[in-house]
Amino acid sequence: MTDRKKELLFQGALLALLILLFSKILFTDKIIRAPDIINEFYWGVKHLGSQPFWKLFDINLSSAGWDMYINSGFTNEGGGAAGQFLFTQKLIFWLFPPPASVAWYILFHLFVGAAGTYWFCRTIGCSQIGSFLAGLVFAIAPENASLINAGHVMKIATISITPWAFYFLEKGFRSRRVIFFLSTAFILAVQFFHGHWQVAYYTCLAIGVYGVARSLCIVLADEGGKKEFGRLLALNLTLLVFFLTTVAMSLVPLANWSKETNRGVNSGANVTASAGQSEAKGGLAREEAMSWSLPPEETAAFIIPGMFGFSRQEAGPNPGNIGSYYWGRMNFTQTVSYMGLLPWLLLPLPLIFRRDRYTWLALSAVVVGIFFSMGKYTPFYNLLFDYFPGINRFRVPKMIMFIPVLGLGVLSALGIDLLLDPAVRASRAFKRYLIGVVALPVLLLVLVGVEVTTGNFWVNKFIDIIAQPTRYEPQSEKLVLQRWTNLVNETWIAAGLAAIFAVVFAMYQRGKLTAKLLPFVLIGLFLVDTGRVNAKFLFLVDEPHKAAATQSPDIAFLAKQPKEFRTLPLNGDPMPYAAAGIPVMFTSNAVQQRRWQEFLDNFNLGSSMPDILNVRYVVATKEQYEQDKAALAGKYVPVFYSPNGAMVVLENKTVLPKAWLAPVAVQVKNPADVLGALQNPQFQADVIAIVESPPPIPMLGPGATVPATGPGQVRVNKYEAEKIDLDAAVAMNSMLVLGEKYYKGWKATVDGKVAEIYPVNHVLRGIYLTPGMHKVEMVFDPTPFKIGKYLTLVSFAVFALFLGREVWLARRAKGAGA
């Protein structure tokens, strides 16, 4: 068999094994039980399966995208438009029937990550079986695989690209050819296009460190002499510049969009004072940013996966194969900090017998990544948070753990190759290594003994932590016993597994297990070990639309209503409404526009706040309505009951039209005062416009008498996601107010002339008009998206030219060889 066929065989084996391991979620008519999938992701991709095949390759870059159905209007200024280039996503959801298509999409990317890890290990000289193990570590280590339970589909997809970036960069350093540096940049851009920007950011950090370290290794080792310094510098700069231009379609609009979010430079978080002045650096507040830091004691879960319990299940009851919810010091976790026992057993081998650049780089990925993930518990992360650009824009420091998993996979490949080396096996150092392998189960058994015999002492010592209730587990007499029993049981399992590994290693050392058979035995044990843990995170429920069938009558009723009015579901997830073409006031998003987040934090259903946002309908359960009936009476009246009486749709009788004329302008600069006024039920939103700067035309002030004839009339001629046309008959100087979010990407003309859009009532947009008949047009056309789009398209063309050149050179070389 040729080497090429062997490589294909191992790739095929990787895919087949992954299909087998995750068959439960692949071959089913159910869907993964994860809120992020059931409530969000599934609704965004469900339609792809019903599209004609040729539509999969449709790309529309003419618009930055303003979604009128979610969150009272939402955009990231076109930062996600590059996702249209992800044809594999569209193809998978077209090929596989829903809802299992979500699982197939996850499986595909786990394989992509495994294959990338395999080829990186092959590039640095690992054997095929070692590279195979490394790929498995990356794909099925519970630290990565349990993301399925969290429903982090795009995080898995984004993570899967990381090994390929390292593969192409290493090829570049070995060959010094620009095509590989361009390919690295292209791969990093594609990763960014997958939409999980925190993972992409962490990958770029890791790639940057790897690039600097490899360059220094080459220069200091005098590979080609110091003459290579200039060449390496040029190649690395080429990578950086080409990445920035290729990713520009996403990066430029997102950089502009993020400025006004609750994590942006204008968010007001992380305020520092100097010389009597305050400076807002933006980003998240320190405590929020670091709330998902890995507590140092939970590193014990690298060996004993259930030591602190397993993830709580947010979409339903805890399954029977989990003995205890997670009870550690993080707010909560949907994943598990476990990577399998085998990689840790193999890790010492390259440190003892192969102390080369790849060993140290992989070890650095493991050690630095783990320290980084500890966040607030280390000075290291706190310094980065204060001084390194971008760190304070993200929460969940533990999210970087995919980098240690990759490093551990590489060390596993190096380790198993050394394990199979006869010279290593015969060395005295290897015998000392075996003593360590045997010592592990002994230490774990001693730990079990301590837990069993002195359990009461340790429980009492740490009772404040062990007895701490969670959102899903109220305090009870059984809670402490449940958690301690699970801890002891998991320690027993870890001790037993470590003992089995020790026996296998001992049998190999004594010649009772051949070198050919050993890798398969070890990989088999690794699959059993990780499979036991991963099985606790693979849950299925009925497809969402089946569960939502009882809600279809109220959704059907609301879907017939005019699109310029919004709905506010109080009974749960709003996405089924939005998916049915019903504009909803609010959808959950970790990153919100700053103004909008402040509005939501102060929202009052009984005030004028829902009126100005065109919230005409409120959906509640019968119980909710009966409970709040007295408070809602007068403003909200029932207009629809579901046939079973479980749901009621209420109509807001004081809702304002899509656009109106306000003749009174009141300047208020302090957002808190604006929001306070809006919360007042007596606030006359149809008359008064609260603005932030002096009006450019004379306006009535507070307390002025408005003529009985009113300020005039407004008619909406066109109401679309990214274009609104209105006619205004204005009787007096007024502010034309729209029940639409203020956002800087919107542009307006009045009678064909450019007009400025002003923020009104903190979150709305408005235009000053003088008496007369006016034609007003608004379009969503942010400039950053257009700049980024053309930079990316030019980069695509450049990359295509370089690829074409490579093909031509390869054919010419083949022809010359013939």
pLDDT in tens, 642-675: 888 889 999 999 999 999 999 999 999 899 999 9
pLDDT-based confidence at 552, cuts 50/70/90?
low
Average pLDDT over every residue of 117-144: 97
DSSP characters over 62-94? S----BSSSTTSB--TTTTGGGGG-HHHHHHHH
Say how far apart CA 119 and CA 428 lie, in whole Å.
32
Distance of CA 305 to the CA centre of its chain: 24
Please report the pLDDT score of residue 629 as a whole number: 86
List, for residues 52-108, the tens digit of each pLDDT value.
888 888 898 988 999 999 999 999 999 989 999 999 989 999 999 889 999 999 999
Range 659-781 has CATH code 1.25.40: no
pLDDT band (50, 70, 90) for residue 276 = very low
Which among 202, 187, 196 is positioned nearest to 80, based on CA atoms?
196
Task: Report how far Cα 290 is from the mean position of its chain's Cα atoms.
Answer: 16
- List b or e across 446-456, with b for residues whose CB sees 16 or more CB atoms inside 10 angstroms: ebbeebeeeee
Average pLDDT over residues 738-755: 96
Q: Which two tokens stand for residue 701?
A: 């002030």
Q: Is 496 helix (H, G, I), strand (E, B) or coil?
A: helix
Tell me the average pLDDT across 155-184.
96
Task: Tell me the average pLDDT across 17-24.
Answer: 96
Q: How confident is the model at residue 278 (pLDDT cuts 50, 70, 90)?
A: very low
- 318 vs 589, residue with greater confidence: 589
Domain boundaries for CATH 2.60.420 within the chain: 659-781
- Amino acid in the structure at residue 245: T
Give me the pLDDT at residue 470, please. 80
Beta bridge mates, 567? 584, 617
Q: Is the peptide bond before 574 cis (omega within 30 degrees of 0)?
A: no
Q: What is the average per-residue pLDDT within 696-708?
A: 87
